[in-house]
Amino acid sequence: MTSDWPIYYKDKLIIGNLNSNVGVATLWMPKENVASELTAESFSVCGQLYTKRGINPMLRNILANPLIRYLVICGVDRQGSGEAVLRFFKDGVDVKSGKEGELLGWRIIGDEEALLDKEIPLEAFDLIRKNVRFIDMRMKPLQQVAELVSSLEKKDAFGDPQVFKSQPPAKADIFPSDLSVFKVRKDYIGDAWIDVLKIVNRFGVEIPGMYGKVKAVHNLSVVIEKEDPRNPKFYDYLKFAKEGLDLYIKGFFDVNKGTEAYTYGERIFDWEGINQEEIMVEKLKRYPYDRGALAVLWKPQQDNYPPKNTERQEMEQTKGWKVPCLVMILGQCLEEELNLTAVFRNNDVYGAWPLNAFALRNFQREIAVKINKNIGSLTTISHVAEMYELDWEDSKHIVEQNDDLARTCMYERRSNYIISVEGEEIIVKFISPDGASDLAEFRENGKKPKVARDLCAMAIKEMLIGDLGAACDLGRQLAKAENAVKLGLVFEQDNVLKIN
């Protein structure tokens, strides 16, 4: 093995006997719970494998230490990462190509979500599949896992250590910003994710996280308006498909926390015997505008105080102590729609935000059906919206490949505007989006210096424009109207100026 092994996520792993042949991946079960049942001599390394993104560093660690001859998977497979590893060993990989035929990576056959690093050659994957025995112990009692691990026959290394280059870390260029309250409004979760990634990459400040550096912004608010949880809209760039999403949602609302510190389902549906969703439904049925229809997931008497023996890291972060990221869910009806707001103390926007948003949209629909209302907007507010350094490069690639100018065209929810010129006078009239009512009207002499600027300022002062794209268009149209008056040309909104 290499001298500094494990070379990936050493601080996240529990190290046992480095001469052992056994690696243990515990999926969503806390690694501490599993390792405590194993003898220290029986395993080499033990760590969690929450998502399929973790398969790459796991395989890289195996290649760097060919003494690993057994890979034991145990615990709860909430996001299909264990199933993806099983398919890797059973069926192998094939090429995943880009639009121009370039190699993007290696796709696990039978899994549309997991993408293995293109820097690792096919021969290396085949070497692992031929020489490492995969043992599926998902959902098996820990006693059985411990007995199995202790019984495995000692073997020699299957070759020399191999280390392959990784994608270079993304350059952390940070754009200036006001540092708090970033708003994204989209119809669908997958589309909103592009802007979420872009915001954190562009404006995120580098700070230490629990597991390495993160980029973070404060109070990222995302509004989703049309996502149908019964028929979710999937995009090719999402890191999960329907099967993985269904697994996640099932685990999200699981009331039985088992050996885990908590589940969202347990905190919502069985807070020491209290079903908070049931109370929300009762309140909203009785009075749809109730300000107290909410569920709190943070237990102050428990979550504020780590256990006495909790290990502390270099900057006093607690290690291996888990508390909820989602801390509050609030609902209120406006007319015939139920709107829902979810507050996160922190949110991994790359790995968790889209999945959490889909799960919350399902929760929102469930309540809406029970109170006989339509499903309205879902808003997620992330006090700390963060992205781990591991994900910076891929998130930039996702944005570069899928962002375009068409996405900037948004429906302005506050107003429509009609601009006209009568003689030397520029008139801008604001009406409601449905055209049913007049909101405001401004008239200014077009010969006046900087008149377009002043008319824009009037619209801003009266809060008539909420979308940046609409604001840009308003400024462009008013500038044309000003030029038309001053140059003696004919102005017609949304058309080129004409000679009189």
Q: Is residue 369 part of a domain?
A: yes
Give the pLDDT score at 85. Answer: 97
Residue 3 lies in a domain: no
Residue 93 domain flag:
yes
Interacting residues of 153 by C-beta distance below 8 A, sequence separation 6+: none
pLDDT tens string 288-310:
999 999 999 999 988 888 776 65
The rounded distance, in Å, linking the Cα atoms of 81 and 86 is 9
Can you state the angle between helices 122-131 and 81-91, rounded to 10 degrees? 90
- How much of the chain, in percent, has pLDDT values that exceed 90? 77
Average pLDDT over every residue of 322-345: 96
Q: Look over the chain and give the mean of its residue pLDDT values, rounded to a whole number.
A: 92
Q: 């888990």: which residue's tokens?
A: 322
203 lies in the same domain as 330: yes
What pLDDT score was predicted for residue 475? 97
One domain, residues 243 and 129: no
Which of 74-88, 313-327, 399-413, 439-453 reaches the highest mean pLDDT?
A: 439-453
Q: Are residue 395 and residue 420 in the same domain, yes or no?
A: no
Question: Does 174 map to a domain?
Answer: no
State which amino acid sits at residue 162. Answer: Q
pTM of the model: 0.75
Q: Decide if 263 is inside a domain.
A: yes
Dihedral over alpha carbons 8, 14, 16, 21 (to 10 degrees): -50
Secondary structure, 3-state, the chain: CCCCCCCCCHHHCEECCCCCCEEEECCCCCHHHHHCCCCCCCCCEEECCCCHHHHHHHHHHHHHCCCCCEEEEEECCCCCHHHHHHHHHHHCEEEEECCCCCEEEEEECCCCCCEECCCCCHHHHHHHHHHCEEEEEECCCHHHHHHHHHHCCCCCCCCCCCCCCCCCCCCCCCCCCCCEEEEEEECCHHHHHHHHHHHHHHHCEEEEECCEEEEEEEEEEEEECCCCCCCCCCCCCCCCCHHHHHHHHHHHCCCCCCCCCCCHHHHHHCECCECHHHHHHHHHHHCCCCCCCEEECCCHHHHCCCCCCCEECCCCCEECCCCCCEEEEEEEEECCEEEEEEEEEEEECCCCHHHHHHHHHHHHHHHHHHCCCEEEEEEEEEEEEEEEHHHHHHHHHHHHHHCCHHHHCCCCCCCEEEEEEECCEEEEEEECCCCCCEEEEEEEECCCCCHHHHHHHHHHHCCCCCCHHHHHHHHHHHHHHHHHHHHCEECCCCCCCEEC
**Would the pLDDT of 319 be above 50?**
yes
Each residue's pLDDT tens digit, 152-191: 999 999 999 999 988 766 555 788 898 899 999 999 999 9
Question: Does residue 315 lie within any of the structural domains?
Answer: no
The pLDDT tens digits of the residues spanning 195-208 come to 999 999 999 999 98
pLDDT of 256 higher than 90: no
The domain boundary, picked from 408, 434, 469, lies at: 408
Straight-line distance from the first to the last Cα atom of the chain, in angstroms, rounded to the nearest whole number:
82
Among residues 465, 373, 477, the alpha carbon closest in space to that of 416 is found at 465
Give the mean model confidence (pLDDT) for residues 56-66. 96
Residue at 353 is within a domain:
yes
- Bridge partners of residue 73, in order along the sequence: 25, 136
- Do residues 384 and 466 both lie within one domain? no
Domain span including residue 225: 180-306+321-408
Q: Are 464 and 455 in contact (CB under 8 A)?
A: no
Model confidence pLDDT, tens digit, residues 459-492: 999 999 999 999 999 999 999 999 999 999 999 9
Task: Please report which confidence band the pLDDT of residue 3 belongs to, taking 50, 70 and 90 as the band edges.
Answer: confident
The domain that holds 215 is classified in CATH as 3.30.572.10
Pairing of strands 489-490, 498-499: antiparallel
What is the band of 211 on the pLDDT scale with cuts at 50, 70, 90? confident
Whether residue 140 is found in the same domain as residue 40: yes
Number of separate domains in the chain: 3
Question: Considering only CA atoms, which of 138, 117, 112, 128 is closest in space to residue 49?
Answer: 138
105 and 191 housed in the same domain? no
**Whether 252 contacts 265, CB under 8 Å:** yes
Q: Which residue has the tokens 């809209």?
A: 233
Pairing of strands 212-224, 180-186: parallel
- 436, 350: one domain: no
Cα dist from 191 to 186, 203, 226, 356, 449, whole Å: 7, 19, 11, 15, 42
- Looking at residues 396-410, what average pLDDT do you find? 92
Indicate if the pLDDT at residue 314 is higher than 70.
Answer: no
Which CATH number goes with the domain that contains 100?
3.40.50
According to the model, what pLDDT value does residue 315 have? 45
Out of 368, 392, 408, a domain closes at: 408
181: left (phi over 0), alpha (psi -120 to 50) or beta: left
| pLDDT for res 152 | 96
